[in-house]
Amino acid sequence: MAHALIFDSGVGGLSVSAEIRTCLLDLQQTYIADDQFRPYGEKSDAALKARLPALLWTLCETVKPDIAVIACNTASTSALSEIRAVLKIPVIGVVPAIKPAAKYTQTGRFAVLGTPSTVRQKYVDKLIQEFAPTQTIIRHGSTKLVSLAEDKLAGRPVNLDALTAEIAPLFIDPKVDSVVLACTHFPLLIDELSAVAPAGISWIDSGQAIARRVKSVIASLRKFGPPRPGPDIALLIGPNADEPRKSAFLAYGFERVVGLVPHKGFESKVERRHQDK
Ligand code: DGL
């Protein structure tokens, strides 16, 4: 069986990892949380394009996965082609679930809730033009929800008043009947979101679609051999591998959680490799 690298700025990718685990129990997962650079949603495209290809290249050279899953809407919508250009393995990104939401909505009005970076991306404009040209869509960017999801998985209580205030702009139009969760952190708050939102709202994310895509790419690799060639390990970049956070990764099926500090100059190393090609 194969080995996948699952990448996000923090715990958000766990919502994708869990879906992948459900349909590919034998897949080995190495999870990377780039805590040092979170929140991605507040960074410029230039900053993400400068960091992510170099970081992913360094990680893949070390971890040697068969595929990489960029389990982050912000990284995928801003830097996926740059990441693909430096990796030699299949790379699967996350696409905001605008197409399924456009099919689902009964009122023709839905919201896209992502990070500030994701909701302003041209890629999202294109998805809307292609799949929801006649619908009315409210776009809302939130970094607060990312930190509330991090709080929850670090064992801290989620501030429901803050959550209510944060999502209020989505429901100014009472006809909005569904919300695209266009950040992988947000499905981790689904119980809290459902508790504070107006009744009857549907929440749509890409987790299951990504898991299906991973399954079909893994099948095409035709990697046979023992199930799970090694343990599932989570590597947390920066000084955030404290006990409550470690417990969250263990609860999502990771066997070991390790803090990691990337060596200085990894960006210039990947640049040199590219110039040598
Ligand atoms: N989980 C990430 C996403 O899907 C972003 C969180 C962040 O802002 O770092 O967009």
**CA 45/CA 77 separation, integer angstroms:** 9
Burial of residue 70 (CB within 10 Å: 0-12, 13-18, 19+) is buried
Which position among 72, 181, 189, 234 bears the catalytic label?
72
Question: Quick one: which atom of ligand 1 is closest to the CA of 143?
Answer: 8
Q: Extract the tokens encoding 123.
A: 């890629």
Write a three-state SS string for 147-201: HHHHHHHCCCCCCHHHHHHHHHHHHCCCCCCEEEEECCCHHHHHHHHHHHCCCCC
What is the Å distance from ligand 1's center to 256 Cα?
23
Side-chain-side CA neighbours of 162 within 13 Å: the count stands at 13
Q: Is 72 a catalytic residue?
A: yes
pLDDT at 228: 74
pLDDT at 264: 66
List average pLDDT for each run of 10 residues in the chain, which is 277 residues long.
95 98 94 96 97 96 96 98 97 97 97 98 97 97 97 94 96 97 98 97 97 95 75 89 88 93 60 50
Question: Quick one: which atom of ligand 1 is closest to the CA of 74?
Answer: 10
Domains and CATH numbers, the chain: 3-94+208-276 (3.40.50.1860), 98-205 (3.40.50.1860)
Q: Extract the tokens encoding 235.
A: 């590597």
pLDDT at 245: 87
